[in-house]
Amino acid sequence: MFEGFTVEDVPVDGADIHVRHGGAGRPVLLLHGHPRTGSTWHAVAPALVEAGFSVVVPDLRGYGRSRGPAPAPDHSAHSKRAVAGDLAQVMSGLGHDRFSVVGHDRGSYVGLRLALDHESRVDRVVLMDCLPLSEHLARADARFATAWWHWFFFAQPEIPERVINADPDAWYTGDPAVMGAENHAEWRSAMRDPDVVRAMLEDYRAGLTVDREHEEADRADGRRLTMPLLVLWSLRDDLAQLYGDPLSIWHGWATRVEGRGIDSGHHVAEEAPGELVEALVPFLARDA
């Protein structure tokens, strides 16, 4: 995977972030979701390099081979604000003062926070299979709780660690024929690490607490994304089934919004990388 990319661990305040980066041109930061690592982009990142971009692919704080601080009682050590701060430092260290952000799933929440907290540095944003956390929670009903029950299970103290670590291979399933053998092996290794499992759970615990508070404060202050925003969603996932047109919600958070569905299941970078690249390249190459 990632032939020709440089692989390194970048120290930032309170964490060491595992990063792959390669290419030349307009910089693009790719942020994975749960429970993946940066290797989920193994088919997308080289295609973006081929299209003329400089591509940066980290493991988020605590995921994969990135390491961060111990969990905090208020979950702030794994908040999207803290993770976004990591990545802003990573991009500075790599010489990228301004860059585009592409986030999927949990990585989209980090991408939103990057764009809000570091607005002068982010020139465009792509958010995939995502609404703001506070919007999900404001609409939480029986359908949401049934379909996305894991949010609330993961928020419980200690119990999910015991359940998952008892048999991580049974809890997290993936098909190497779909994921790619190397991507599957990297992901499987991470899932067997109790420290990674704990960090991933802290991500969710932060989502229901400190991250929600940060988003609600943004709304109270009238903050919105001013850079171009592309929203993509997987047609064989349930975002549109739960909420209708996701763009109708995102218009409340951004001044320039466009988007569409992609014929894929949830892990679109693995299941439909060609269609995803076709959607990304024109948007990322466009002048802001």
Give pLDDT tens digits for 25-83.
Answer: 999 999 999 999 999 999 999 999 999 999 999 999 999 999 999 999 999 999 999 99
Distance CA 81, CA 197 (A): 20
Q: Are 203 and 232 in contact (CB under 8 A)?
A: no
In a domain, 1, yes or no: no
Is residue 131 included in any domain, yes or no?
yes
What CATH code is carried by the domain that includes residue 65? 3.40.50.1820
Closest CA to 56 of 122, 106, 118, 120: 122
Q: Is 266 designated active site?
A: yes
Closest CA to 180 of 89, 113, 114, 267: 267
Instruction: Kindly name the residue from 34, 184, 251, 266 that is annotated as catalytic.
Output: 266
* 129/246 Cα distance (integer angstroms): 9
Token representation of residue 152: 């609330």
Which whole number is the average pLDDT over 103-113?
98
- If one counts the domains in the chain, the total is 1
| 229-259 residue pLDDT tens | 999 999 999 999 999 999 999 999 999 999 9
Residue 159 domain-assigned? yes
pLDDT at 288 over 80: no
**Which one of the listed residues 59, 86, 105, 237 is annotated catalytic?**
105
Residue with structure tokens 């982009």?
A: 41
Is residue 157 assigned to a domain?
yes
Residue 101 lies in a domain: yes
Half-sphere exposure (Cβ direction) of 48: Cα atoms closer than 13 Å: 34
Partnered with residue 7 across adjacent β-strands are 20
Q: Which residues pair with 22 in a beta bridge?
A: 55
User: pLDDT band at 287, cuts 50/70/90?
Assistant: confident
> What's the pTM?
0.97
Q: Which domain holds residue 132?
A: 6-285
Is residue 210 in a domain?
A: yes
